[in-house]
Each structure stands twice: as structure tokens, then as C-alpha cells.
Amino acid sequence: MKTNPQGKTIDHHEKGVDVPYDQIDPETLRNVIQEFVTRDGADWGDPGCALEDKIAQVLKQLKNKQVKVVFDLKSETANIVSCL
């Protein structure tokens, strides 16, 4: 941790802000989920699983509070993370 000129501690590990999925515009939410499921390194087990099925799976997980949308203030990006 560093301090600013006023002697206050600066935390460079900004925490994310939880964003309720039901308060996100449906088209924007779909775009966030689509980017998440098509991201390099995403492991979906069945390589034949259709994009729409993957999106539906994540939407169901959001509704069941298994995952949540988090907005990182530092990078100004949204991500979907496990609630566990």
C-alpha cells in the first residue's frame, strides 16, 4: 500500500461493485453474458453446447443467486463471478 501526499493510504486493489442483474438493461445483460461464455479459457464441458444454451445456463445461475455481476471500477469492466 502507498500513501498519497496527504498521508492517506491508497488501495490500488479496487473492489468491484455488485450490480443486480435485474437492474441491467436486458440487451446489455445478454451482451455481458455472451462475452463471458465466449471468453478464451471458458470451460463448458460439452463443446457442442450452443451459445443460446450457455447464455440460458448463466441467466438461470443469476436468477438462482449462484453467480452475480460485478463491475470493476478500476478497469471499468463487468464480470460474472461465483457467489460461493
Q: What is the mean pLDDT of each run of 10 residues along the chain (84 residues)?
A: 48 72 96 89 67 92 96 91 86
Domains of the chain, residue spans: 13-82
Q: Give the C-alpha separation, 12 to 74, whole Å.
A: 9
Domain 13-82, CATH class in plain words: mainly alpha
- The owner of cell 441491467 is 24
Q: What is the pLDDT of residue 46?
A: 64
Q: What is the pLDDT of residue 44?
A: 60
Q: How far is CA 81 from its chain centroid?
A: 5
Residues 6+ apart with CB under 8 A from 78: 19, 32, 69, 70, 71, 72
Q: What is the pLDDT of residue 5?
A: 52
